[in-house]
Amino acid sequence: MSSSVFERLAHQGTAASEARVAEEKECHEQHTRHRDTEAATEGSKINLAKLNQLQLPQDQLGAIKSPKRTPKQQDAFFSRLSHQETISSAAHHIPENNESSEHLQEHLKSPRNEEVFNRLYKQETATSKAHRHVKEEVKEQHHPKHCTPPPSLLKRIGNETSNGPPIPIKMNVHFRTKEEKKNCDFYSNLNIPDASVRRQINVFHSGKASAHALAFDLISTLFHRDFMPGAHWSIGTATLNELDPMTYMGGAEVQVFESEKEAIWDWKDTFRVATAKATIKISNGDIYIDGYSYYVAG
């Protein structure tokens, strides 16, 4: 009898000790799990002290850089977002006349809902940006940008619309083309809009410039009047061949110049020549530009 009691007590002690061991083991496992959770949480936080030691800028903490996209990928990204609908993006384009608009207006009658909706309207999300991006693209397609004229055209417009009246010249400029000379037509008055050439005429009239310099400026301005500038043109210097002077009735001496100016296009097996020619006669009071011709060969 005594042996059975001792055996029973021994078994009870063993069961109690096993229960205590199991309880301690469970507490240990719970403590281990709690410690691992805290360690994971602490690991996810930014160690500001260590970052300060590394001297990292504060604006780079937690910064997430979006991957660079090609223009095609960016258009596809905005197109996909434009088909998405959020409360913030819906606030930017409320339909005017449909059932959803009426339902929305009824929903906004509540002051709290109206406050929330206004706050969402002021938010900027990727979807709302995509909607505005698509709208701006459509607007640009319907309203193309103004095209700027080429520099050569702007130069011509600037010459024609110069500020102020033209400088009055003290000499008469007579002009006749090669065809008019062949038909024995009379000279016509030539209007020279270039202010520098008009000034050169007055300088020659006052005796401070030579007839050679004046003839050079006249053939140059006539050439640029008819020449259409562009790439691959090489413009040469005007050439003058002074002839024997002439004497008109009354004893006025006239200086005569055979003038010529040309430009050459030599590019990609194409050769062209633009040439202006004229006989320029200069006296003290009159200028005669005779037999003028301009042509492009090649």
Q: Tens digits of per-residue pLDDT, 103-160?
A: 555 655 566 666 666 665 556 665 566 555 555 554 545 444 445 555 544 444 444 4
Q: Does residue 9 lie in a domain region? A: no
* Residue 230, domain member (yes or no): yes
Nearest by Cα to 214 from 254, 264, 250, 165: 254
Residues of the domain holding 205: 167-297
Check if the beta carbon of residue 279 is closer than 8 Å to that of residue 257: yes
Q: 181 and 127 share a domain? A: no
Is residue 11 in some structural domain?
no
% of the chain at pLDDT higher than 70: 56
On whether both 171 and 135 belong to a single domain, the answer is: no
Residue 125 lies inside a defined structural domain of this protein: yes
Confidence band for 276, pLDDT divided at 50, 70 and 90: very high
Q: Which amino acid is at 22?
A: A
Instruction: At 174, list the tokens.
Output: 């007579």
Euclidean distance between CA atoms 276 and 42, whole angstroms? 87
Q: Residue 13: is its pLDDT beyond 70?
A: no
Q: Is residue 50 part of a domain?
A: no
Residues 206 and 278 in one domain: yes
- At 169, the pLDDT band (50, 70, 90 cuts) reads very high
Least confident of 101-110, 136-145, 190-199, 284-293: 136-145
Q: How many domains does the chain have?
A: 2
176 in the same domain as 293 = yes
